[in-house]
Chains A and B, each alone.
Chain A
């Protein structure tokens, strides 16, 4: 399968197709499309974390290199491409920049308690969840969405947000809490 280098509407399905083409056919054109779409976003994320465009560029390159190398490990049944690339970027930031380990569970560990849901259900569920999440996030009032976005990645401390918006710290915190709660609820309501 050859994917086109240009992504037309950049839907999550397009991204999945591109990443599968990288995994299965080592398709460089597909990878270029992913790189041009995600590279600049990962770079923005990294710049916020490390506050240096040069280090951010290096970490972005490492992230995308890992995407190329680990493409075969991506499982479209378990989540979408943006979440998968985000976790790679996050872990690189923790290990390379913060010099800490990222403790994670190991599904092959004998003490691991496996899921009870069968695979087919889980697949359907995760797709539906991704759709619902997308809808739910876009349905949030702008002020909540904005605060959620800016606080979610620890980009700006709550106290700085409070100052910027001229709001009491408690209000900022409660708006963020409300946004998270709404997201959760809209997901759970439709389970």
Chain B
């Protein structure tokens, strides 16, 4: 497997500096789990951020008191590992959904409880700590289109199983599609296998179909 569609510079830099809300970061971190190439780029941005921090004007006011306080804490400080979120285990070699996403879902694909969206599609809402993004796992039946829509903001779609095509572009496992206000599109799931993808948005999609716009609030999309 090799990933063809990667995280853009702007988004990756924002992930590196910690500017992004949790929902966007979840999509990017999950892409990074599947993409050695972007992990190399991330390391560069983190090096750049470290370098920029190195160059900031140091705030040395009260540094001696700060150090005194620190030294007192060192006495008796134990070496303890940082709290690590308990990962949801998956059988070796067959895990479909990588961390960190699997822990957000509480299970790998076989244990998921899908909610019907109509036309054979289904979804699972994913809770994050930010109120800016809306995050969901989507399952589009093999060969089916996602209704044509445009976007009120940014949309990140990360393919985890199956594939979809959008115009002339094909997105398969690990591929990330970035769309914004300027994009109107109709992704179509590839034949043969349902397409499972993670979708993160910060504004409701604008469906072309009036009927869909009417039922949008009911379906929660």
Q: Which of A62-102 contact B (CB under 8 A)?
A: 64-66, 68-70, 72, 78-87, 89-91, 93-94, 99-102
The interface size bin for chain B is 35 or more
Question: What B residues does A42 contact at CB under 8 A?
Answer: 53
Question: What B residues does A187 contact at CB under 8 A?
Answer: 44
Structural contact, B98 and A109, CB atoms closer than 8 A: yes
Question: What A residues does B211 contact at CB under 8 A?
Answer: none
Alpha-carbon distance between A72 and B82 when the two chains are bound, in angstroms: 12
Structural contact, B33 and A39, CB atoms closer than 8 A: no
With contact pairs A68-B74, A113-B35 given, residues A39 and B98 touching in the complex (Cβ less than 8 Å): no
Structural contact, B47 and A133, CB atoms closer than 8 A: yes
Structural contact, B50 and A106, CB atoms closer than 8 A: no
Partner of B100, one of A41, A105, A114, A153: A105
Question: What A residues does B60 contact at CB under 8 A?
Answer: 40
Nearest Cβ distance between residue B18 and chain A, in whole angstroms?
A: 4
Structural contact, B39 and A115, CB atoms closer than 8 A: yes
Alpha-carbon distance between A81 and B34 when the two chains are bound, in angstroms: 26
| Residue of A28, A110, A111 most packed against chain B (CB within 10 A) | A111
Which segment of B21-29, B110-118, B186-194 sits at the interface?
B21-29
Interface majority SS (helix, strand, loop, mixed), chain B: helix
Structural contact, A113 and B129, CB atoms closer than 8 A: no
Structural contact, B79 and A130, CB atoms closer than 8 A: no
Alpha-carbon distance between A133 and B94 when the two chains are bound, in angstroms: 39
With contact pairs A105-B99, A110-B91, A133-B48 given, residues A28 and B29 touching in the complex (Cβ less than 8 Å): no
Chain B interface residues (CB < 8 Å from chain A): 1, 9-10, 13-14, 17-19, 21-22, 25-26, 28-30, 32-36, 39-40, 43-44, 46-60, 62-63, 66-67, 69-71, 73-74, 77, 79-80, 82, 85, 87, 90-102, 104, 128-130, 174
Chain A interface residues (CB < 8 Å from chain B): 28, 31-32, 35-36, 39-45, 47, 53, 56-57, 60-61, 64-66, 68-70, 72, 78-87, 89-91, 93-94, 99-106, 109-117, 126, 129-130, 133-134, 137, 148-149, 152-154, 180-181, 183-184, 187
